[in-house]
Structure 1
Amino acid sequence: MAWDLRRGGLPGEADTAVKRPGTAQRPAGTPKLVGVVWGLLILNTLGSAGAKTIVPLPRSLIQLVTMGALGAAFALALALNLRLRIRPSAFVLLLTLLLVPSVISSLGLEVGFGALFRCSRLALFVGTLWLLTRWWDGSFTFVRTHIRVYFVVLGSVAAGLVVSPGTAMPEYYGGRLVGALWPLTPPQIGQYAAVIIGLTVLLAIGRLIDRTSATVVMVPSLVLLAMTHTRTATLGLLIGLVLAIGSLVLTSAAARRFFSWAVLCAVVAAAVFASALQAWFLRGQSKENFSNLTGRAKVWDALLAAPRTSAEQLFGMGLGDKSFGGLPIDNSWLAVYNEQGLIGVALVAAVILVLGGVALLRPPSVPRACAIFLISYVAISSYTEAGLGDASPYLLHLALAASLLAAPAAATPPLTTDVPRRRVPRWAQERR
């Protein structure tokens, strides 16, 4: 895939930009192994439970692979950053504070020893992010890795669809696309597709990727997204792109053109394919089933009505599998409330507010637009998807946004070549 990404700004900017006095250029580059660390973090968050695969994979084997990926990511990040050089990050600091209610609630072992295991996993995940902050400088290093790794994951989904269409679109999921080679659910596939589509669109608007590469990424991803029938991912993609492109409209002619064409195409599609779009959106569900969010509202009501002690309200019940009464919670805020209490909810809300506030304070740019897209997508998805309180793809999306919003690391000013003139004594001057 041919990428036209250049460190320091848009293409051509490095030759024409005027250097500010007293500043130096950025470091020569980020080690390639940093991208490997990021890819291992993505592998760790793919999950161990999902659809039935062509070749049955034991859950213990999947957990061994995912947890092994996290351990390898931490070890490799530590090897790359042996001097433990980290950058201040309010985002990672808040995630570190989130460990406090997680550990306190998990020590009660009300949800079993698995809670302490999940706490150690979250601690290792946060520790790896701390080690990676050394290379968070607002560049697109992690964005490229994010797109490429998730595109490979989607490639495995497409391969499974070709090899065994029946397994990839099973009846127990209503004919929606799942992972036939690796157990991925429709919401997971829709999430990955929506995120890389949005990031690729923004890179294309900023002319940081050529049209061929953008087409190669976007077209198959759009097809897979449509086959998953994932409404949350679709709405998150559309609303996130509107907010992100809106932040560039005043400063980018390409953003204005794309926005105008997108609105025109949306109007035409709504007029011509209204019935088909409505059928796709409803997925054959009744209005009653759609109104209670496919049964989610019943689980939410039961969770909120359950009796709790004061300690459980503050610190939660301990890290679990994001379920209540054997049913998935499918809401990040209620899942955090159930597992990490009101303190956890406050910390997760602070994460979203801090990142959003920093994004609003940054001047218009493509990195800022990508961060706005990621933050808004995660905020929208949090209503019907869980994961903000534990190591998950959603925290990785927010970590990517934090890396894009980080200011470039200050470099040591170059040494001056001016040598002070030595004063010649008066007796030497007279001898001359």
Structure 2
Amino acid sequence: MRADPTSRIVGTVWGLLVLNTLGSAGAKTIVPLPRSLIQMVTMGALVAAFALALALNLRLRIRASAFLLLLTLLLAMSVISSVHLESGFGALFRCVRLTLFVGTLWLLSRWWDGGLTFVRHHIRMYFAVLGSVAAGLVISPGAALPDLYGGRLVGALWPLTPPQIGQYAAVIIGLTVLLVLDRRTDKVSAAVVIVPSFVLLALTHTRTATLGLFIGLALAIGSLLLTSAAARRFFTWAVLIAVVAAVGFASALQAWFLRGQSKENFSNLTGRAKVWDALLAAPRSASEELFGVGLGDKSYGGLPIDNSWLAVYNEQGLIGVGLVAAIIIVLGGVALLRPPSPARACAVFLISYCAIASYTEAGLGDASPYLLHLTVAASLLAAPATATTALPAPEVPRRRVPRWAQRSEAT
């Protein structure tokens, strides 16, 4: 069955948004790619996505939601914090990027109907990205598993870091598992996605993505236990396998989890805690405390912050932190109020994953894959569109009947 042209164009727009959020910094690729070229490609993808979405929705039919309203407020806060140029002119460029990103989401909201369409677009696009990672691994294993990253898998064709690859793999594994549990896809197609993605996830040694996958899936499947026998069977088998693995492969799992790090390095989260302490200890003015210093590259003192909440606090202040928290709370609250369904389970998984990953990954306050994950969750939680109710026919005024006619009718 062929997809209709509109659905294909929406999928293309979504793919361009995914391309825009891949980033331009990462490992060395087999063919060196200048960062300026990568930035031109990613920014061009965003401009094309906005133009294509606008051409598809010229009448500007949108579906307002609390998620998009909060995201727009976060954009306004980002502009306010960036106009002071404390982070340089790059902050204004990032504001323009975020504006196009949010604008494209508004244009796509017309097709948010609580269905699984955007879930399928999400899986296809990130599986294509993982396909490029697998191709790089086959072409040049040395470049894909460099010593610089401790032998962890990176993108050898496009500069992707191990946490990025782990995130993409974990998200599509979780979504595909939920689809196959509800028989929205066949087992062969699901295996084609899940098995290679899980191998790539294991090669990245990404702890955050792995924990986010398992905890997110546990919460999502838990939301289906009362209504789905398949979910109950899967949950039972998953618990048994987890117990056997914990008992029989404890040393191997511990070695994989520690990645050869010392206990001290592991306790301070691979040096992240030092950056966090320095950021929180730095003096700030009242304006910087409330509004931040403007959109930057999510770093402090030349080192990555690697925490969404602290990155938002640094760049968009306490008000920005409040808006991001409101986005997570609103989406989570709406998901709890929805009746059990595959769409709700997918939304629970995505919200849970983003909340867990926010502790060691940045991105909730700017155009990023995490905002795309939350956008898919928002589309799943949208109420189905209803047909416009027809207006009642106007009443025809009664003709006044003379009294003599009424008397003749009565007789």
TM over 0.5, yes or no?
Answer: yes
Residue equivalent to 1:23: none
**Equivalent AA in structure 2 for residue 321 of structure 1:** D
The aligned amino acid for 1:237 is L
Q: 2:118 aligns with which of 134, 142, 148?
A: 142
Count of matched residue positions in the alignment of Structure 1 and Structure 2: 402
What is the rounded CA distance, in whole Å, between the counterparts of 1:105 and 1:415 in structure 2?
48
Partner residue of 1:389 out of 352, 361, 365:
365
Picking from 83, 87, 95, the partner of 2:59 is: 83
Q: Take 2:67 and 2:29, find their aligned partners in 1: how far apart are those partners?
A: 36
- Cα deviation 1:260-308 (Å, max 9, x = unaligned): 0100111111111110000000000000000000000000000000000
| 1:307 pairs with 2:275 | no
Q: How many Å apart are 1:104 and its aligned residue?
A: 1.4
1:403 to 369, 374, 379: 379
Contact 1:375 1:401 in 2 (8 A): yes
Equivalence for 1:328: 304
Deviation at 1:415, TM superposition (A): 9.0
Deviating above 6 A after TM superposition, structure 1's stretches of 4 or more consecutive aligned residues are: 414-417
Contact 1:150 1:196 in 2 (8 A): yes
1:131 aligns with 2:107: yes
Q: Output the amino acid matched with 2:234.
A: F
Measure the CA separation in 2 of the matches of 1:231 and 1:416: 60
What residue number does 1:213 align with? 189
Equivalence for 1:110: 86
RMSD over equivalenced CA pairs, Å:
2.2
Output the CA distance in 1 between the equivalents of 2:107 and 2:52: 10
Measured after TM superposition, the shift of residue 173 of structure 1 is 0.1
What is the 5 A alignment of 1:292-303? Answer: 292-303=268-279
What is the correspondence of 1:29-428 to structure 2 with a 5 Å cutoff?
31-413=7-389
2 CA distance for matches of 1:416 and 1:84?
Answer: 28
TM-score of the two chains, using structure 1 as the length reference? 0.90
1:44-70 per-position Cα deviation (integer Å, ceiling 9, x unaligned): 000010000000000000001100000
Distance 1:356 1:29, change over 3 A: farther
Cα distance in structure 1, aligned partners of 2:258 and 2:218: 23
Amino acid at match of 2:218: V
Task: State the 1:413 CA deviation.
Answer: 4.0
**1:222-263 deviations in Å (ceiling 9; x for gaps):** 000000000000000000000000000010000000000100
Asked if 2 retains the 8 angstrom alpha-carbon contact of 1:30 and 1:135, the reply is no
Please state whether the residue corresponding to 2:14 is helix, strand or coil. Answer: helix
User: What stretches of structure 2 of length at least 5 have no aligned partner?
Assistant: none
> Aligned residues: percent identity?
81
Alignment deviations for residues 23-53 of structure 1 (CA, whole Å, 9 cap, x no partner): xxxxx99532011111110010000100000
Contact 1:101 1:316 in 2 (8 A): no
- Cα distance 1:278–1:100, how it changes in 2: closer, same or farther (>3 A)? same
Structure 1 spans left out of the alignment, 5+ residues: 6-27
Distance 1:92 1:133 in 2: 9
Q: Distance in 2 between matches of 1:405 and 1:245?
A: 17
* Shift, 1:350, TM fit: 0.2
Q: What is the rounded CA distance, in whole Å, between the counterparts of 1:302 and 1:204 in structure 2?
A: 46
TM-score after normalising by structure 2: 0.94
- Give the letter for the 2:114 counterpart: G
Partner of 2:198, secondary structure, is: helix
Question: Distance in 2 between the 1:295 and 1:73 partners?
Answer: 37
Q: Secondary structure at the match of 1:50?
A: coil
The amino acid of 1:109's aligned partner reads L
**Distance apart, 1:412 and its partner CA:** 2.2
- What is the CA–CA distance in structure 1 between the aligned matches of 2:333 and 2:32, rounded to whole Å? 45
